[in-house]
Structure 1
Amino acid sequence: MGKEGPNIIKKVVTEMNLAEQKNNKNSFVQNASMEQLQLIPGIWVNGHCFWMQNQAEKVIYEEGLVMKVKQEQLHSRIRFSTVYVSNYSNQKKEVRILAMHQYPNPLGEQLTFVSPTDNRIFHLANKAVYMVNGQYNGIGMRDSTVMPQWNAFTDQIWSSLKRGTLKYQPMVKGLAASIFMEYLTIESHETKKMNTWTIWGMNKNEVQSIEKALLKNTLAFPFEK
């Protein structure tokens, strides 16, 4: 084989190892990116908060309210959800719809923060960027916060549970849940809805470009005007 033989073999093996590492890295990013953020809708009414965990419909008997959630995959990078609230009581209801998002299978480093400039929430995990946004009747997110995941379903998310105001915290490193709220007035025997969506990509510019195209597509984005 000659003196150069072992060096050539060593070089080929090294290149193969580097290529394998690169493929594993790309595969990791791709698989991680497919792990979409989990949406957990909730509702605040008359000083009480109720969450829809692992269910598509929730009846709040004492308030005469019914919550339903419908999720759609409009695009491979977009998860679109509509939360419906129906008031079957004989009284008008002032409610807050909450949208909590958390990462179901945490791997690697995570950073979650509220961007006041963009009025968006960003989850950075597994080398991917997840952007959370929502609207009710053409109005974007009203109140938003980020909490350590272990505080997500406790009173720690509220500055005042009685008034329905969230405790503002702009950033969390590690396991976190983001929460935003919309304010609704629902008349007796009326149904209203709020839309929320998450978009994932490899960087902020990518997710913003996807959202821009989404907002322009009235067929794929059936908001009521």
Structure 2
Amino acid sequence: MLIRALIVLLVVLNLGAAAWWLSRPAPLPEPEPVLPAGVARLQLVDETGPAALPSYPTAAPSATPTACVSLGPYTSQAAATQAQATAARHLVRPRVREVPGMSASGYQVVIPPAASLEDAQAEAAKIGAAGFDDFLVVRQGDQANGIALGRYRSRDAAERRLAQLQAAGFAAQLQPVGRAGPGLWWVDAGIVEGTDPAALARLAGSGEPQPLECTALR
């Protein structure tokens, strides 16, 4: 009987302890420590809300750009249009431009047409006096009064000839020779102030950005 009474007593005590634990009031939160004046309270990462994204300047359509570039070249209009969309927030007055291409079978070095045949002949005399040969004053066609300075199958050979003439002070140019082929596409635009042109080119999948006169966008 004594053992049974002890067991009943232990059960009653356990039930009482459980009832007290379940009905006890919730503990009050500890008061925040008093911080010295001018010291901000530290915040946990989840208290600050979503991380703020860096803000970028947005191009104003009516803004007058102070620097302009050509991005590209792109092999299709779709690729150029996509690049323009990707970099749109950094661009002012962007436009897509096509440059007709050709499949070069060779290269020629020329001096563009002069104002008259006499001017072309005078320039040719200077070229001969500088020690160059293999040149010809063009007398008809769309290159009339220009000077042909040689045609080459290899671009490297043409560029060597071009470099020699330019080093001597002549305004020679390199032109591809061949039939019409696929064109290339460019994105011409002003750039938002503070935008790095090299970083912009990487964003747009472009080669090295080419300087552009902003008057071309007006």
TM-score range for the pair, normalised by the shorter chain length: under 0.3
More helix by share: 2
Larger gyration radius, structure 1 or structure 2? 2
More strand by share: 1
Give the TM-score, by structure 2 length. Answer: 0.20
